[in-house]
Each structure stands twice: as C-alpha cells, then as structure tokens.
Structure 1
C-alpha cells in the first residue's frame, strides 16, 4: 500500500469531502465542511502561503495538513503545520510524510519556526517529540449539551446596554472588526496576532461560510460595540463559538456572559443540539465563564514547536 501527499484541489469535490471527513473523525469537537475548507484555501491572505495537504492511501484520503505562515504575527518567520490522520489509519506513514512535506514548504517560504497543535495522547505526543518538537502551551476543547442542558436564564440588559446581532451590522461591519482586533491582541498564544487588514478580515471571518451573523451576539454600551460572542454553525445541529471577548474599557461588567448567553439561547432555538468552544488552558476567566454555562472539557491539545534548520 502506497501513501502519497498532494495539495487539496479546490475544484474537486471529493478532495474537500475527504479532507473534511478525516478532520471530523480526528477532531469531532471542531466544525468543518467541504465548503469551509475550500473557502479557507481560496480566501486566506496570499502572504500566509497557505496550503492544505492530503495524504492518500490507494486513493482514499487518510491524512490532512494545514500549513502556512502566521502572516498577521508581529514577528516574521512564524509557521504552522497542523497534521491529523484518520484514527484508523495511523502508523502507516501518512503523518510522517505530511510533516516532511509541510516542513519543506515552510522552509521554502522563509519560516524559521514551526508550530503544531497535537492532541494530548501519548502516541500523538511521542510522534511530535520524535520529530524534534517540544511541548509548549495547551488548550482545551469544551462541549455543552444544548438539547438537554440548562442554560442560565436570559436577563434584561442594564440601562445603557443593548443586545444586538452581527446581522445588524451588515451595512458596515467595521466596528466589529475593530472590536475583534482589540480582543484578539489579549488572547493567550505563542504567536502574537494583530488584525490590521480589514479586507482580509472580511474574507476570512465576515464572509466565512460557517460564520452565523444571526447567532453572533454583540453588546453595545451607549451605542458602542463593547463585547461580542462570534458563532459558527455547520448547517446542521452543531454550533461553536470561536471568539468571545470584551473591549478593555468595558471588562469586569459581565458583558461577555451577556453576549454568549444570548447567542446560546438563539442557537438552541434554531435547533442546534451541541455547542463547542475552545480555550487556552491558562485563560482562567473564559474557562470560568464556560464552566458557568455548563461546558465540560472534552479534549486537550498541546502546542508543539520546532526550529527549522
């Protein structure tokens, strides 16, 4: 049996379906669709030098990799290579070939460091460490049973505070870009990220096929966007929050809880039965908020790093 690695072809439906299937099996707590994968490939900023790689064994997609440069980082040369293999096809060379191909691409485009998320299991961690990667920070995936869990009751916003949705900003989403950019600066990460390109944000966030403007909540204070909870759905019954944050001037007032609670209630009313999110293991405030909502940790990933020679 021969394993080959090649690029995902965005115009071939079976490529995106195979990639999506492997990712859903390896990471059932994240949202992927064939359409979202093609969008990521065709709309990521050119400076990211982004590639999606497929490992095939006898014509079957058995492994995937997303690889590129963190072009929004304040420090140049930061690369990433996230590799996931079909859980029933491990140990047959697909992961090794994907890592080798990904690192060759990163070196060719000027990366000096490769970061990789690795599921926190002994076999996965050993795979990374054998290839010279060193463990860094960790992050948790969390799940909430929307169908049977009890959400906190909705509360009336205090005076001067208003709840809206992202759909209300369809005519001019720039205020949401500004809010997203500010809160992202304070996200715990190995790679500092600075949103400075509004058009890139529109393509990668606002127009993303998984992004739900109707389920994304925005809290206004005296008419100014102060907090938000950004939501995605897979078109079925799965919902995820990919960012919840509050502008620095408005923190400590419970606005993030207000935004997220409104989004969760709307998601359940829309028929979503599972809610997913993720938090850096050092992000105590957000982990506490999600515990308050009833989320449970369902998996952990470890960020590994390797200097590229």
Structure 2
C-alpha cells in the first residue's frame, strides 16, 4: 500500500476532510464550508495550523494544532482529535501527523498539550507520552418526530439568536462556561475570538439557536451548528444566578424543535463525564450514548 504523504492542509481539502471525519468520527458535525473557512481563515491569536495525510489525491488523515486562547492558564496547546482512515492505520500515518502537530506547538511556545482519544487509541496516546484524564460522552437524538416546542414559564421569553445582539449572547456563553468541567478553565473567552469561531461559523444555525430572556436579561443559551440534516448542540448553558429553574432544558428543547422544523433529522452533543446537570438534561430529552473519548494531557519539553 502506498505510504501517505503529510502536508499542510489547503482549503480545497475540506470535502475530503469531512468525508474522512464521517468515517472515523460520525458523531462529529462540521460541514464542508465551515471546514474550508477554518483552513482558509484560522481563528485570530491561536496560531492554528492543520495537516492532512494524502494517498493518491485522497485525504486519509487529518490533525490540527493551536493555542488555547480561551483559558487564563498559560502556554496551553491543543491538538484536535486525530483522524486516520481505518485502512491506513498501523502504518505510521498517525505518528507522522502527531509529530507535525507537536513540532508546531513547540514553535509557538506551548508547554502543556491537550488532545482527545477514542478508547481504542489510548495505547497509542500513552506511547506518545499522553496521560488520559477525563471522559467525554457523545450522545445522539433522533428528531423524528419533531420535538414539541416547550411553553416557557411566566416571565421567560424564548428567542431565536438571529434577532439578538451577539454581544449579549457572548456574555451568556462566557459566564455560563466559567465552571464547565474540563482540564483547563474556560475563563478568557474574548468577544473577538468568540465572534470568529461561533457567530461567524458557516455552520451556525442562528434561527434554531435559542436564548431565554428573563425580565429583559439573557439568562440561558443553546447554540446549534448544522451540516445538512445533522445538527450539533455546540453549547447549552445558564448563567449561575438563573440556574435551578430548568432554563437549560427549556432552551435546548426549543432549539431542537426549531432545528427539526428547519430539516435537521438527528442531533449530536457531547458532555464531560462529570457534567451531571447537562447529562441529566440530555437524558430527559431522550439522547442515547453513541461514543466516548478521553481527554489526554502531556507536558511538552
């Protein structure tokens, strides 16, 4: 079998990358246009770089590396979930992609590296100096029939994100993320990077994405990204002072309803294994487990 060539990713690789992702990680949702934009216009301040493994013009591997710009913890680099087509595993393709990513993180000054691994790939991660840390659970929900639109409690308005000032939505996202469980805190989510990665994402469905307004204040949000008839719950959260009122479940159910009306047929999401409140919300909505990954950490000398 021909050896894969490793090279920097180009925007025209986007269809091949999405096709590969569908084979390796079918529960991940990022469409061709948002992938193309990510390669062509990386997020500012992250030193984002990606590589593909190519055989006879076909993309058989993918990885990206970048600086985590949303945490106050210094010098944290991240490597996206490594994609290697099953037919090209155990031939050094994954190792070559990982080494390219680690070399890039050294150049940009990262001292600590975070990545994700499927359970079956944990031996590979350990051989390369990574230690498993936290379980990430992926779930799916069939949107047929369309989930009913919930009736909000008195004083609560449910609004599509399309008609709301994005700065207001960013404030809810940033505040609700502060105590989200993870290996590093999400406590430095600036508006510019959020606007680039979230609001301007080609896959963001602003009509389905939903916010809850309580007495004129935005209190909760559920963001939806789409790729055809597949959707991803990018983030659902409630600011701390409004928790305990069921708002997260309310906005997520409304977002699912609106996405289904717009043609979405299956919804995917992920949660840290320690995020009991959101896991409970998803269970009540009918989500079923489909996969797990583990976050993995390594110090970078």
Superposition TM-score, scaled by structure 1 size: 0.93
- 1:156 aligned to which of 151, 172, 187: 151
Counterpart in the other structure of 1:104: 103
Match of 2:4 in 1: 3
Equivalent pair of 2:150/2:253 in contact (CA under 8 Å): no
8 Å CA contact 1:176–1:225 kept in 2: the answer is yes
CA distance in 1, matches of 2:294, 2:93: 20
Is contact 1:44–1:200 with CA below 8 Å preserved after alignment? no
Task: Tell me if 1:192 matches 2:190.
Answer: no
Unmatched 5+ stretches in structure 2: none
Aligned to 2:277: 285
Which residues of 2 match residues 1-309 of structure 1 at below 5 A?
A: 1-10=2-11, 13=12, 15-82=13-80, 83-121=82-120, 124-148=121-145, 151=147, 153-169=148-164, 172-234=165-227, 236-309=228-301
Return the offset for 1:242. 0.9
Per-residue deviation, 1:186: 1.6
Distance 1:71 1:33, change over 3 A: same
Q: Is the 8 Å Cα contact of residues 114 and 306 (structure 1) preserved in structure 2? A: yes
The two structures have a TM-score, normalised by structure 2, of 0.95
Question: Cα RMSD over matched residues?
Answer: 1.4
- Distance in 1 (CA, whole Å) between partners of 2:150 and 2:107 is 54
Structure 1 position 196, deviation (Å)? 4.4
- Does the 8 Å CA contact 2:78/2:114 hold for their aligned counterparts? yes
SS at match of 1:22: helix
Aligned-partner Cα distance in 1 for 2:188–2:70? 6
Structure 1 residue ranges without an equivalent (≥5): none
- Deviations 1:134-165 (CA, angstroms, capped at 9, x unpaired): 110110110011125x74x4342222111101
What CA distance in whole angstroms lies between the structure 1 residues aligned with 2:233 and 2:189? Answer: 22
